[in-house]
Amino acid sequence: MQALTNRVKQVDRKKLSFIESLYLPAIIKGMFITFSHIFKRKPTVRYPEKTRTFSPVFRGLHVLNRDEQGRENCTACGLCAVACPAEAITMEGAERKPGEEGLYREEKYAARYEINMLRCIFCGLCEEACPKDAIYLSETFAPANFQRKGFIYGKEDLLIPNPVTEPEAYAKAKGGRVAVK
Amino acid sequence: MADEVKAPPANFKVTIDNITIEVAPGTTILTAAREIGGDVTPPAMCFYSKLQGSGGKCRTCLVEVAAGSTADPRPMPKLVASCRTTVMDGMIVKNITSDKVKDARAGVVEFLLLNHPLDCPICDQAGECHLQDLGYEHGKEGTRYEFPRRTFEKEDIGPYIQLHMTRCILCYRCTYVADQLTDKRVHGILDRGEHAEISTYISKAIENDFSGNMIDVCPVGALTDKTFRFKNRVWFTKPVDAHRNCENPKCCGKTTLWLRGEEVFRVTARKDQWGEVQSFDGKPGWICNTCRFDKKETKDWTIEGPTLINRHSVIAQGHYVGVIKPKETLQEVMGGREPLLLMDIHDVSEVNKLNIDLSKIQGPAHSNDFNK
């Protein structure tokens, strides 16, 4: 049979010599490799105490953005849903009533907004499509859940804390991040 | 030989972008180009073949006439509006083959967009907006305009039609509809120049039975259907051809229903490839307001089948053609029993709740409609 690669090595079946049959040199050689790793840099981190820094292009759990006055940015334009290759996003739009100007930035807003995290592939196309800076993929993982119904994220799960009414929660969620212009 | 005056030929030969076609005398360049079809056809924002007298306002259909006619082969000195210029025998027209035309059209698009707000994410016309297509195909990316844009007070023109004057590009199509389709025109253009605006006289509601056709002829989102307002995006609804026996003798009754599941979100007239209302037996298929605004149930209609949508249109997204549904293997694998943990998305999802029938709400949905 023709080999697929040229790295094929024929197994050597000749008799072992006396020294080889003691196995000790091979064991010492092996243990040397093992113990030498003690002095090398550890590729793992002690997870719960220490966390890895995310890459700047990491795409994690989605958030729905608010502006500085705490109004929702999303206008239910549907571009994220049409861009979504997994068809994970659904929404329903509504008209802003007089008196709701402090809640929604524009005259139309998403009354319902849902991301099915079971379908989502975290490609970030929704973020790219959004004309209103409303959806972002944050630097967190989608938490695990015992039931599948816990993965249907509604607006209450996605919206960031209101910077006006809940400044502490907003500051905590913001962390050490600074706005990039 | 002065008495040898030749009768004009029965058909004029006109060459548009190196494609020669024979058309009847009196045909405009735009109509001749539409007979050829494809990229050769200049875009038109104000011209509407079913409305007499329309055209000549937006200047998007500008073309270069390289040779006026066989008798007088001099080129026309300036670009001409193809919707208003009739062909001559031996005329040579350049549309997309002329750099002058492309440049001028980009300029026209920039002018049209001077005062047009960039609120496509809110606008219900987005996805079927001719200005979006025009800007995408012929426009430039940026604008050089630095001054405050023209804005208007929001005006209520009745329970069915929503007027957004800021989006208007003053194509006058809706006034022609009011003039030619309805018996009494109650809306028109007020003021002039930059201040010109569409309005009803003394905020008189448009109650005529054919006023809804203004929505169909509006190339932008200035006139939109209030019963469909913010209900859904055009590309998430599924268009199907349908008809009903309308009592109104002037109504053709052949429409396109825009469905979401079983709900009829919107009813429009059928559009042809130029975005105009289709003709049936030589008559434009205008529909009456009863068909358009009041018949919002599938049982009112005889559905003929899905509307053919251009594959390149955003409306065609999610229209999977020729889908073969894979065989349901769950039963087989599970030995005949249902899986214990099977999630029905509708048990969890808050979207498309069965108790909220958006198509039954008269105007746009509000927060109280959802927080029932």
Question: Whole-angstrom Cα distance, residue B158 to residue B180?
Answer: 20
Q: Which option is the CATH number for B12-111: 3.40.50.150, 3.10.20.740, 1.10.1740.10, 3.20.10.10? A: 3.10.20.740
Q: Which chain B residues touch A75 with a CB distance below 8 Å? A: 121-122
What are the backbone dihedrals phi and psi of residue B258, each rounded to the nearest 5 degrees, phi first? -110, 105
Q: Is residue A179 part of a domain?
A: no
User: Nearest-CA distance from B182 to chain A in Å?
Assistant: 31
What are the backbone dihedrals phi and psi of residue A145, each rounded to the nearest 5 degrees, phi first? -150, 155
Q: Which option is the CATH number for B150-225: 1.20.120.520, 3.10.450.350, 3.30.70.20, 3.30.420.40? A: 3.30.70.20
3-class state of residue A126 by DSSP: helix
Question: Whole-angstrom Cα distance, residue A130 to residue A82?
Answer: 11
CB contact under 8 A, A149 and B347: yes
Q: Is residue A98 part of a domain?
A: yes
Q: Is residue A161 part of a domain?
A: yes
Question: Which residues of B make CB contacts under 8 Å with A?
Answer: 119-122, 126, 229-233, 235-236, 314, 317-318, 341, 343, 345, 347-352, 358, 363-370
Q: What's residue B328's pLDDT? A: 84
Tokens found for residue A18:
């006396």
- Which of B121, B317, B349 is closest, CB to CB, to A131? B121
Least Cα distance to A63 among A54, A73, A53 occurs for A73
Q: Is residue A100 part of a domain?
A: yes
CB contact under 8 A, A76 and B230: yes
User: Nearest-CA distance from A140 to chain B in Å?
Assistant: 23
- The CATH number assigned to the domain holding A75 equals 3.30.70.3270
CB contact under 8 A, B122 and A148: no
3-class state of residue B367 by DSSP: helix
Q: Give the HSE-up count for residue B267: Cα atoms under 13 Å, Cβ half-sphere.
A: 27
Q: Is residue A37 part of a domain?
A: no
3-class state of residue A167 by DSSP: helix
Interface test with B, best of A108, A126, A135, A155 (most B CBs within 10 A): A108
Question: pLDDT of A58-99, one tens digit each?
Answer: 999 999 999 999 999 999 999 999 999 999 999 999 999 999
Question: Whole-angstrom Cα distance, residue A139 to residue A56?
Answer: 9
Over range B152-171, report the average pLDDT. 86
Query: What ipTM was assigned to the predicted interfaces of this complex?
Result: 0.82
C-beta of residue A150 within 8 angstroms of C-beta of residue A54: no
Question: pLDDT of A12-24, one tens digit each?
Answer: 888 888 988 899 9
User: Nearest-CA distance from A160 to chain B in Å?
Assistant: 19
Q: Is residue A114 part of a domain?
A: yes
Q: Is the pLDDT of residue A164 over 60?
A: yes
Lowest mean pLDDT among A141-145, B1-5, B314-318, B339-343: B1-5
CB contact under 8 A, B364 and A94: yes
Lowest mean pLDDT among A121-130, B79-88, B166-175: B166-175
User: Which residues 114-153 of A are in CB contact (within 8 Å) with B?
Assistant: 114, 116, 131-132, 147-149, 152
C-beta of residue B250 within 8 angstroms of C-beta of residue B291: no
Q: Angle B280-B282-B288 (CA atoms, 0-180°, nearest 5)?
A: 50
Domain ranges, ordered by start, for chain B = 12-111, 150-225, 231-372
Q: Considering its fold, how many domains does chain A have in total?
A: 1
Question: pLDDT of B89-117, one tens digit each?
Answer: 999 999 999 999 999 999 999 999 999 99
Confidence label for A174 from pLDDT (cuts 50, 70 and 90): confident
- List of residues 6+ apart from A3 with CB closer than 8 A: none
Q: Is residue A108 part of a domain?
A: yes
Q: Angle A164-A167-A172 (CA atoms, 0-180°, nearest 5)?
A: 145
User: Nearest-CA distance from A159 to chain B in Å?
Assistant: 16
What are the backbone dihedrals phi and psi of residue A62, each rounded to the nearest 5 degrees, phi first? -75, 150
Confidence label for B5 from pLDDT (cuts 50, 70 and 90): low
Tokens found for residue A43:
């590729």
Q: Is residue A123 part of a domain?
A: yes
Helix axes B130-138, B99-112, angle to 10 degrees: 140
Sign of the Cα torsion B33, B36, B40, B45 reads: positive
Q: What's residue B44's pLDDT? A: 93
Confidence label for B1 from pLDDT (cuts 50, 70 and 90): very low
Interface test with A, best of B167, B344, B350 (most A CBs within 10 A): B350
Q: Angle A132-A137-A143 (CA atoms, 0-180°, nearest 5)?
A: 140
Residue A158's domain comprises 62-174
- Which of A82, A108, A147 is closest, CB to CB, to B122? A108
3-class state of residue B333 by DSSP: helix
C-beta of residue B170 within 8 angstroms of C-beta of residue B182: no
